[in-house]
Amino acid sequence: MSLLLIFEQLLNGLQFGVMLFLIAAGLTLVLGIMNMVNLAHGSLYMVGAFVCAWVSLQTGSFLLGLVAALPATALVGILVELLVLRRLYDRDHLDQVLATFGLILFFNEGVKIVFGARPLRLDLPGWLSGAVEILPGAPYPAFRLAIIAVGLLVGLFLFWLVTKTRLGMLIRAGASNREMVQALGVDIAKLYTLVFGLGAVLAALGGVMAGPIYAVEVGMGEPILIMVFVVIVIGGIGSIRGAFVGALLVGFTFMLCRAFLPGLFGLFLDPAGAAAVGGALASMAIYILMAGVLIARPRGLFPAQG
């Protein structure tokens, strides 16, 4: 086990963590402010990836795909909030789960109709397709470094937005006591729409960042959504800081365990057994981490309320 390999996996964990943060940040605001369990958030991640891939294929420009994906997904998210989710705010969580699960099916079939059932290819721009030698003998893909940079910049922007602006003040207040915010004369419906639109943009950005690394295919939002919920539970519902810390913890845990647990078990098991046991435990590691955090802090590391 070389230091260069450990360093590479740490960078992989950071890259995966900031990508999870892009998706989790919007969803934790929706959960914290609206008290809305939105299982269809991963579908917005999928829509962003598909719009970017389709526009990129038509124009040959990744940047044009990015520019098209963000407002298109924001518009889709706002329409979903206005037409569907607004009717669910006063319903219990079971109704919200069933309705947003129906939205997942609707989005999956809608994407098939609009873009086709086959996966789309999202090629990297030439200036991001190479590698950067961070340390001697340790080249790292430039696009993954770009994901890290974008995620950190988005994190700084959200920190500024939530802590230094009037909108951020309303978001924090809404996460703590939305009834009082409404009683003070704030148009809570407009605030909900803005927050949901912001969450849709962040989900789309996560989909665009993931598209060149993973397959842009129908249903790609569901597997990532499970990890995003783990991130939110670890960090604390409604907390941007919690989403960031939780995403990094999940990213590092997932990547390091997947890289090194099979080799660790290979010290005393045959190769096939080590791969099976190590792979299984690596898949379980983030849930073990979540259980440990909840035992110590049942409301998450940085809960927004109370």
Q: What is the pLDDT of residues 69-89, one digit of tens each?
A: 999 999 999 999 998 888 888
Q: What is the pLDDT of residues 84-131, one digit of tens each?
A: 888 888 888 888 899 999 999 999 999 999 888 888 888 877 777 778
Q: Say which residues have a Cβ less than 8 Å from residue 168's Cβ, sequence separation at least 6.
A: 160, 161, 162
- Range of weakest confidence among 86-100, 131-145, 220-234: 131-145
d(CA 226, CA 222): 7
- Range of weakest confidence among 43-57, 67-81, 255-269: 255-269
pLDDT for 290 beyond 90: yes
Q: Give the pLDDT confidence score for residue 171 in this predicted structure.
A: 74
Question: Coil, strand or helix: which one is 208?
Answer: helix
Averaging pLDDT over each range in 8-17, 26-35, 86-95, 135-144, which range is the top one? 8-17
Q: Give the pLDDT confidence score for residue 73 in this predicted structure.
A: 94
Could you tell me the pTM of the whole model? Answer: 0.87
pLDDT for 306 beyond 70: no
Percentage of residues in the chain with pLDDT exceeding 90? Answer: 27
d(CA 270, CA 261): 13
- The H or E element that residue 196 is part of is helix 188-210
d(CA 19, CA 17): 5
20 versus 259: which is more confidently predicted?
20
